[in-house]
Copies of this chain bind each other. A is one copy, B any other.
């Protein structure tokens, strides 16, 4: 089915890795099937990281195998060449890589300088190219770094050019700490265009920490970007505080675009079902707005009328 906007669902990886509760493999696969049934075409399902560092994703092999029967394409995050080899051995055919636009964040997150990360990514993406594996390359902290503040756009331009040259198919602009603004999003996309990287090569990974995810998505969409990351129920994305949000909720994204008559190919009812399952498995209310509004009371009608506004 042709869609206007493509949704890349990250709950099973980016979401779950930040959860205190580890889901069973069966639970993850049940959520994956619910997302698949809702019409989500791309799922980031796990990460090949060290199980002692991220125990929530220690079952990566089993998750990759279990999601290969879905209609949805499954993707895995690989932090380095070792992870890439494990992913290939597990049968993964689509990978995500990551590097930060800011030096300090890369050091804290990947434990490498950006230069060393690029050297590692040359190996990772080289292997992917040899194997015919698709690569989606995250660039983190494009719009702000928790240690360095605003990040010069030149860092992003440089990384994006190099990653595409190495063989990545798409650059994912990450608003890692959620401080991006719509004018900044439009500016970065315009600057990328000036170095020959059009919006068709981009995706936006917006964080909703400060409630700006949808306005940043809207600004990117107006600038021609049609690929967006989101997480079921808004889980993950490293929220600052309990009850706060991190990732943009997939339900909120689909609700916005479908409301505008822009097709996502995803059923909101199907997502609500998947979100209900995920909330039950995690045993906590999920932060997404649409989830809270519609799952909270099980109805679409407003609770009551009130005078004013």
Binding site for B on A (CB under 8 A): 10, 13-14, 17-18, 47, 49, 53-54, 77, 79, 96, 98, 105, 108-110, 138, 140, 146, 172, 174, 176-179, 181-184, 205, 208-215, 217-219, 229, 237-245, 247, 249, 252, 255-256, 259-261, 285, 288-290, 292-297, 299, 301-309
CB-CB under 8 A for A307 and B109, given A211-B289, A218-B215: yes
Q: Which residue of B lies closest to A237 (CB)?
A: B309
Instruction: Apart from A215-B215, A240-B303, list 13 A-B contacts with CB within 8 A.
Output: A17-B308, A98-B309, A109-B307, A183-B261, A184-B260, A210-B256, A210-B293, A211-B211, A211-B288, A212-B252, A212-B259, A245-B289, A245-B292
Q: How far is the CA of A14 from the CA of B261 in the complex (A)?
A: 31
CB-CB under 8 A for A244 and B293, given A252-B210, A307-B109, A309-B138: yes
Q: How far is the CA of A213 from the CA of B292 in the complex (A)?
A: 15
Collect the chain B residues with CB atoms within 8 Å of residue A98's CB.
307-309
Could you tell me the distance in whole angstroms from the C-beta of A6 to the nearest C-beta in chain B? 17
Q: How far is the CA of A249 from the CA of B148 in the complex (A)?
A: 28
